[in-house]
Structure 1
Amino acid sequence: MSPRGVAIPDLRDRLFAAAERVVAREGAAALTSRAVTAEAGCAKGVLHTHFAGLDEFISELVLDRFARSARHAEELSGRVGHGRVADNLAEVALALLDSLDPAVVGLAMTRPGASLHTRQALESGAPGFAAMQQSITGYLEAERQLGRVAQDIDAVTTALALVGAVHHLLMTRSPDAPLDARDTTERLVALLLGDGSQRVHTS
């Protein structure tokens, strides 16, 4: 437990990780500000000192994970010409799919305050699905110039379809069936690339 008045390094990350552990272990109903701070080993009032309330905290957790996925998608630019295109895209898509526990997503969608805060942040330019789509579009256009994808591929629409589908899976999948969503994502990547006969190799 940190003494009063002593700054806690990486507090946001610590609270976010604690929240994810609480949800994974006990379910969404167990996520309270007190449960989070207890799990994180912080004073009871710390969460409300840094966030307006639990709704904002949940929203900021979701936005943080979206931003992390957007940064991961940016790394595609360094993979141009390397590896299989389907593998590179699948890795990014699956990273987004695995970025949040379905129960956390459910909280962000069903709590009006959290949902509103998330939507307003994304509309204001917080990194999320639009940034991922832009990174994937740029990657596909670069791979097309190298002849590693079909010359007639519509990079913008393909990126939109991939990000939109994974977004749908992320927001609607059941905690009891994550593997079905992963399989769907891999098959979608192959379909969008016109590569349905080849398996996507993911670890």
Structure 2
Amino acid sequence: MSPRGVAVPNARERLFAAAERVVAAGGPGALTSRAITDEAGCAKGLLHAHFAGGLDEFVAELVLDRFARTAALASALPDRAGEETITANLTGVASALLTATGPELSGLALTRPGAAERFRDAMASGAPGFAAVQESVTRYLDAERSLGRVPAGLDTATAALALVGTVHHLLMTTWPGAPDPAEQIDRLVLLLTRG
């Protein structure tokens, strides 16, 4: 364990990764400040030193961080037009979005009033999330359409909305032990890209 007063490198990411392990092992109910810092192997006050708003701020920031990572991944998608298969490219981004925080943490962020408020405020202020991913998917499909790899008549914006909206639905309605939604995503991508 890191002694008190000693700088912890990458403390924010270390705490985020620890929280994901805590939730994976014990479910959302196991997520406490103490469980996170114990799992991270650091002093108990580290979480509160980095997140003055406590566990609510921490949970909101964790979810926002993971969505931002997925949005960054999706932003590279238009540059991949013409590479690999369309199904592989879209399924990769959809899977990343689905696993960005997992249903347990996403649900936790929405059920903790303080976390939900912080999350909504950040989204309203332009934090990257589902809308950024949707925009990137639209631009990607536009690029693939110009290469003739998707039907000329494909409504790319609606296809992107359908994909991202479905992933959002799956994220919010999946629970531990539920069937893996990957097959549903694969079928949806095929349906959407064949016009």
TM-score normalized by the length of structure 1 = 0.91
In 2, Cα distance between equivalents of 1:141 and 1:105? 30
Cα deviation digits, residues 94-128 of structure 1 (max 9, x gap): 11112223221221121111111111101101111
Gaps (5+ residues) in structure 1?
196-203
Q: For residue 43 of structure 2, what is the aligned residue in structure 1?
A: 43
C-alpha spacing 1:7/1:71, structure 2 compared with 1 (3 Å): same
Quote the RMSD (CA, aligned, Å): 1.3
After the TM superposition, which residues 143-154 of structure 1 pair with which residues of structure 2 at under 5 Å, given as runs?
Answer: 143-154=144-155
After TM superposition, the structure 1 stretch with the greater mean CA deviation from structure 2, 2-11 or 115-124, is 2-11
In 2, Cα distance between equivalents of 1:44 and 1:4? 9
In 2, Cα distance between equivalents of 1:77 and 1:9? 34
Q: For residue 26 of structure 1, what is the aligned residue in structure 2?
A: 26
Q: For residue 67 of structure 2, what is the aligned residue in structure 1?
A: 66
SS in 1 for 2:76: helix
| Paired amino acid for 1:185 | I
Q: Structure 1 residue 164: deviation in Å?
A: 1.0
In 2, Cα distance between equivalents of 1:68 and 1:175? 23
Q: For residue 134 of structure 1, what is the aligned residue in structure 2?
A: 135
Contact 1:109–1:115 (CA<8 Å) still a contact in 2? Answer: yes
Q: For residue 82 of structure 1, what is the aligned residue in structure 2?
A: 83
In 2, Cα distance between equivalents of 1:171 and 1:10? 29
| Paired amino acid for 2:6 | V
In 1, Cα distance between equivalents of 2:79 and 2:193? 20
Cα deviation digits, residues 110-167 of structure 1 (max 9, x gap): 1111111111101101111111011111111111111111001111111111111101
1:116 maps onto 2:98 in alignment? no
Q: Structure 1 residue 178: deviation in Å?
A: 4.4
TM-score normalized by the length of structure 2 = 0.95
C-alpha spacing 1:38/1:166, structure 2 compared with 1 (3 Å): same
In 1, Cα distance between equivalents of 2:147 and 2:71? 24
Contact 1:137–1:159 (CA<8 Å) still a contact in 2? Answer: yes
Contact 1:24–1:101 (CA<8 Å) still a contact in 2? Answer: no
Give 4+ residue runs of structure 1 displaced > 6 Å after superposition: none
In 2, Cα distance between equivalents of 1:157 and 1:185? 16
| Paired amino acid for 2:35 | A
1:161 maps onto 2:162 in alignment? yes
Number of residue pairs aligned between Structure 1 and Structure 2: 194
Q: Structure 1 residue 190: deviation in Å?
A: 0.9
Contact 1:101–1:175 (CA<8 Å) still a contact in 2? Answer: no
Contact 1:58–1:114 (CA<8 Å) still a contact in 2? Answer: yes
Q: Structure 1 residue 3: deviation in Å?
A: 3.0
Gaps (5+ residues) in structure 2?
none
Q: For residue 190 of structure 2, what is the aligned residue in structure 1?
A: 190
